[in-house]
Amino acid sequence: MKNTIHWLHRIYLMALRFATWLGELGIPHFHRLGLLPGDDRVRVIADNRYGWKSGKQGVDVYLPRNPPGNGAPLPFLFYMHGGGWVSGGRKLSAITGRKLAARGIAVISVGYRLSPEFTPNEQLEDLHAALRLVRERAGEWGLDPDRYAFAGESAGAHLSVRFAQEIAEDLPAPQAVVAKYGVFDFLRWAQTNWFTRHIASPFVFDCIRGVESPESGARAVSAIQPLRSCETRVLLIHGSSDSVTPWDQSEQLAAYLKEQGSAVILKTYPWMEHAFTYIPFDWVDGVREAYELMNDFLQRELMEPRKKAA
């Protein structure tokens, strides 16, 4: 039995990496098929490096061709891709980048080094380095270096919340966080079903190195912790039919953050599975409504001036 689980574990990893590799090849070109806003509405500045230890250490910039306002610097959304912490890259976020940039929101799609070669702490180091690069080049890209929100999907949702908790004191806290179908309590998630108990969670826990035990590592990187600033507003999005990360992960985080004084919106979408916002078609009700909600939330919490988070 143990040997069978070992091989299922390896097959799972290979399938995940293959699927995200195909996604990285195909998704950036969806606009050529008319599935996403084209270059007439969105300007893309790709492959800006912030480090040289891995090809993943770069950001892609999605800017509106006709930005709102009178030419003032734009706030930006700092976006973290999914892929189970072990696969994927910044090209996977082209769907979100183009859809939101076409609505006037600048999006920074950030890549980061992947597990198991690199630890969760090294991934947070990458996010800090990437954000510092964006702030340094903000004038070149027409961005406001002090007004930003964090966002991500799946593993990126977890990282977006963790980054809002661990962001360095010399950087402004994000004005908002948008986290889509993430894992926030690893120990609880591991007991969800047979798949998470025997295939997914053992692999994820093996990726957490430098700790006394897998369980202690999982507890250390879980996101059921306070944000650095309770002024940071939070939007949690989840499909009610998610078989990879059940929606009670978002429910648990929402309840905890509200207890800590944070303003939180939790929205679930019936019949939507994991990673449903990768679907490029607006005629799918849940997909269209999720992007409308994200846009409305960011227009209110990021684009409209308000007191910065401390």
Delimit the domains of the chain by residue range: 2-303
| pLDDT tens for each residue of the chain, 310 residues long | 545 544 554 555 456 566 666 778 888 888 888 889 999 999 999 999 999 999 999 999 999 999 987 889 999 999 999 998 988 999 999 999 999 999 999 999 999 999 888 888 899 999 999 999 999 999 999 999 999 999 999 999 999 999 999 999 999 999 999 999 999 999 899 888 887 787 777 777 776 654 556 677 778 889 999 999 999 999 999 999 998 899 999 999 999 999 999 999 999 999 999 999 999 889 999 999 999 999 999 999 999 876 555 5
CA distances from 303 to 63, 69, 272 (A): 14, 10, 28
Angle at the Cα of 269 from the Cα atoms of 177 and 34, rounded to 5 degrees? 80
DSSP element (H, E) containing 142? none
Strands (E), 240-292: 264-269
Say what the pLDDT of residue 5 is: 46
How would you class 39 by CB atoms within 10 Å of its CB: exposed for 0-12, middle for 13-18, buried for 19 or more? exposed
Instruction: Supply the CATH classification number for the domain 2-303.
Output: 3.40.50.1820
Say what the pLDDT of residue 23 is: 78
Say what the pLDDT of residue 25 is: 80
Helix (H, G, I), strand (E, B) or coil at 263: coil
Q: Are strands 233-239 and 176-180 parallel, antiparallel or unpaired?
A: parallel
Look at the pTM and tell me if it is higher than 0.85. yes
Say what the pLDDT of residue 9 is: 43
For residue 116, whether the previous peptide bond is cis, meaning omega lies within 30 degrees of 0, is yes
Say what the pLDDT of residue 7 is: 55
